Structure 1
Amino acid sequence: MSQDAALERDLWAPPAKAAAQWLALQEALEACGPVACQTSDAEAWWPDHKDIHDMPARTAVAACRRCPAAAPCLAYALANDHRYGIWGGTLPAERRGLNPALAG
């Protein structure tokens, strides 16, 4: 089975269109070790639209922007069209205006 077919078959795997970015993100995370989104309160990274300006979300965005894996994280979020959560130091509204080809 090809890698694309395997990714499409596994519901928890990233879509084939974002597989390369997912692998790059995984490599970056392995290289830098645990990062803030893996070790802190998950709710801060998935704020409701009404909570994006609250302290937990602002703190998460700031930590994310300092993360050594921010660039591949953003590239993955754009390639996968993530419409929720904080990815690569950006909120959903910020990502809507970005071109996936320019990330990473």
Structure 2
Amino acid sequence: MSTESQDSASKRSYRRRSDDERLAELQHKLEQAQQRLKHREERKELAKHVPNPATLKLPVIIKKLREFAAYAHINGRLDYYNSTIAFVAMMDRLYHEDMHDPNGEEATAEEGFDA
């Protein structure tokens, strides 16, 4: 083989993009970046309305506290009963406040409970 044929085989032909093609590519990249930013902001907004994991455990804890209050009442410990019922009322109020977002819509939870 001659060196001339090797040079022509190894050379690539480049096609210069027009200004319109470069502009279209940049606009496409800009649209993609704007979509990523929009999705990121939507995820942040959704995260604001999801209750704290500790809040989601409150129904179970309140149920156990009510069982304890009933047990204390049956066994004549009215001081334990009154203290526990007051604590349960406070936790119940906090639970219901946390489960509602500032717009008045309910937050998503697997299970709620009523007092």
TM-score, normalization by structure 2? 0.27
* Larger helix proportion of the pair: 2
The two structures have a TM-score, normalised by structure 1, of 0.28
In our comparison, the structure showing a higher alpha carbon Rg is 2
